[in-house]
Structure 1
Amino acid sequence: MCGRFAASNRPEDIVELFGVQQWDPAETPAPSWNVAPTQSALVVLERLSKGAARPVRQLRALRWGLVPQWAKSPETAVKMINARSDTVHEKPSYRQAFAARRCILPVDGYYEWQTVPAERGRPKKKPFFVSRADGAPLALAGLYEFWRNRTVPSDHQEGWLVTFTVVTTEAEERLAPIHERMPLFLDPGSFDAWLDPGLDDGEAPELRRLLIPPPPGALRVTPVSPDVGSIRNNHAGLTEPYVEVEYETTLF
């Protein structure tokens, strides 16, 4: 799954890497090394802009945690930060977004916690940072949705909420001991098909092929500090390798 991630890439670099055509620097969130659910992050998507004949590739700041169009309130977002790739085409909460509103979340990497037994007391959770082995941004497959806040007029600044979720798949062999699932990430050759709103059929073979887990070997797994567990901690050091020091107790 994906419950935290780091997103500190320069927007200008994302624009170049993904061929973004439209981006408003004013809505760019600050770099973060500990993004949590309900916080905003930059995503790449394609939509028809006013007066445009073709979909325009955009870089937008959206809120993490998908709120379906039919939801009565945005409180469901905390529970919908991930969508399973094997059921995303049929689940009522995700199928419309999967059919026509797909996006890519460019991140430095994501955090995962492994539950390990403790010699005494409760089991503890050990955090890891998962990133691309080649250092490039990790392009996570996502879905986005529009939710109408009917307590205010449609032209009000809070009249619409745009949210996203991260698609997950079975973990590759190296990651499986840490967690059985992982975010689905895309290679550059898959960007265009995933973002293309013209592929508006959730059963389209081109889309279903992209839901297959990527081959192993593309990712780097790094043990990191347990400080990442608190959202109050937010700095580049959270992604750095961490070695837990065990102290021996000597009785005199």
Structure 2
Amino acid sequence: MIDGAAAIYRSTVTHRRFVPVGHELRYRATYMYLDIDRLDEAARELAFFGRRRGLFVLRDRDHGPAGEGSLAARVWRLVEGVRVEAPVRRLMMLSMPRTFGYVFNPLTTYYGYGDDGVLRLMIYEVSNTFGERRHYVLPVGQGAGFRREQACGKSLYVSPFNDAEGRYDFTLMPPGDKLRLTVSLSKGGSRVLSAYLAGDRRPLNDREIVRAFAGDPLATYRATAAIHWEALKLWRKGLRLTPRPRAGEPPEATAAIGEPQA
């Protein structure tokens, strides 16, 4: 039986740059929200989702830190030693699936819940087009209200128009009927850009997978193409390219940094 918490989110991603020039990019995306320990179970229950083949595919190698073991084992190791108010018992993964043999996820998120169902920890997996990843593991504060805010230092070269320095600010709500997540990059006290993810929940079943696929079969390809096309527009607007730093660390180094905020 399919996990009741699992879902599909039909979403819109918006990028807004504020300095040194204004610019906006928007594209549609489909995200899957799955229990990281029940991926194989979901693949057995669903005809059109698989771990190796299907309309939607999620492969272990596409995500997580480097190391031995399954995707679940590697991601759970990130949680070890992180101070949280209550133990994390469940990790839900939010990611675009692989379609037609291709996927690129600029951001994959893992929501860590306690036995009480309260969100206790977030893992932000940031990837660039060079195959590098960084994992920002952040406890979640338990302030008033449903919205949560977190922050940490940036440590990965992602865009040719930004270096590897700066500060990330995350604003989120635990996924429910709606999906909401904002990531902002600041440098020198000024906000450089923000990315907004907004989605509507759909049940995870074969019918919804087929509907999502039929409605946008080339979503992952188009998202990558849009990113590169918009980069060309920014270059034509006069933005200077920032050289990629020489590789001095393993390409999937993990950062466990940040403090909870209410």
Shorter chain as denominator, the TM-score bin is under 0.3
Larger radius of gyration: 1
Q: Quick check: which one's strand share is greater?
A: 2
TM-score (structure 2 length as normaliser): 0.27
Q: Relative contact order: is structure 1 or structure 2 higher (C-alpha 8 Å, sep ≥ 6)? A: 2
Normalization by structure 1: what TM-score?
A: 0.27
